[in-house]
Amino acid sequence: MEKLGDDELGLIFNRVHDPDDRKSFSQIIHSQPHLLHNFLRRFPNLVRFKASGPIGKTHLELISQTRTKLQVLNLNTPTMDYANFNDICSINDGICAIANGCPGLTQVYLRRRVIRNAGLLHLITDHALQAIGSATSLRVLNLQGCFFISDSGLKMLAKGSVSRTLKKLHGGVVPCLEELNLACCGSVTDVSVVALGAIQTLKKLNLSCLNVSDVTLVAIAQHCWNLGVLDLSNCELITGEGVLAFAEHECLQVLVVSRSQALKCIRLNVWMPMEMRENLGRFCRLDWS
């Protein structure tokens, strides 16, 4: 029996209607990126594309040329070694093509698009953010762990069309922002994060592993009165003075300061369940006087 060709596989997939079966089929495609060129052309109504493995410029340009109905682009991935995948180094150009060729794009997930091979340490940079900033329909953007995103990139993102449409952003600065995750974007500093103080709609903010200082905390505490959750894990530059800026904040319910070495003493004036006390007692000395 001869192997099934692309035409036969395409016809078979068109007759697969069960969501679980279609998911299993797509996993085969994810594991063999070279098949994407043939399959993408067969699904003109594709609205969601996800690839956690190697994917580069040629794949993304093909999507931008044929997938005008695309709404969700999910390229979230852990840090991996793509030693044998040459095209991945030009993924920024592919992201630009997607931003320009898919006007209906509403969600983009680029978490940890990082490569560690032959000294190359980044994929998503400010160049890609500049293109994303021109999008007109984008609502959700995840840039967590994109280490080479800088203050300049965030400023370009904020100035583009996207700044007027985003409702939920993981990794940027926009006026209507409610949830922001900038964790592990190592090149982001006070220069751009201080601007968050002007966004009074913020409810959840993750600044873990960033080089931000008390200057940022003071700006956020003074203006972000709707903030309910703030994560400052591994922020080595913050001190007790920055945390005290939230002393009279009425909405803050969760403050995470784990592994923040500069903090020596934290005071609480609210009741804490015994179970939580016991858990905390395993990591630090507690004084209930």
Q: Which residue, 134, 164, 188, sits at the end of a domain?
A: 188
195-246 pLDDT tens trace? 666 667 778 888 988 889 999 999 898 888 899 889 998 888 888 888 888 8
How far is it, in rounded angstroms, from Cα 193 to Cα 1? 61
Residues 259 and 288 in one domain: yes
Residues 121 and 50 in one domain: yes
Of 97, 43, 47, which is closest to residue 71 (Cα–Cα)?
Answer: 47
CB atoms closer than 10 angstroms to residue 225 = 14
Residue 114's pLDDT band (cuts 50, 70, 90): low
Residues 51 and 160 in one domain: yes
> Is a pLDDT exceeding 60 seen at residue 174?
no
Into how many domains does the chain fold?
2
Residues 179 and 243 in one domain: no
**Residues 257, 264: contact at Cβ < 8 Å?**
no
Domain housing 198: 189-289
Residue 250's Cβ-count burial label (10 Å; 0-12, 13-18, 19+) is exposed
- Classify residue 2 by its DSSP letter: P
Residues 154 and 225 in one domain: no
For residue 278, the surrounding DSSP H or E stretch is helix 274-281
Residues 162 and 78 in one domain: yes
Residues 65 and 129 in one domain: yes
Taking the whole predicted model, whether its pTM rises above 0.75 is answered as no
CATH number at residue 257: 3.80.10.10
- Whether residue 8 lies inside any domain: the answer is no
Residue reference for tokens 């095209």: 87
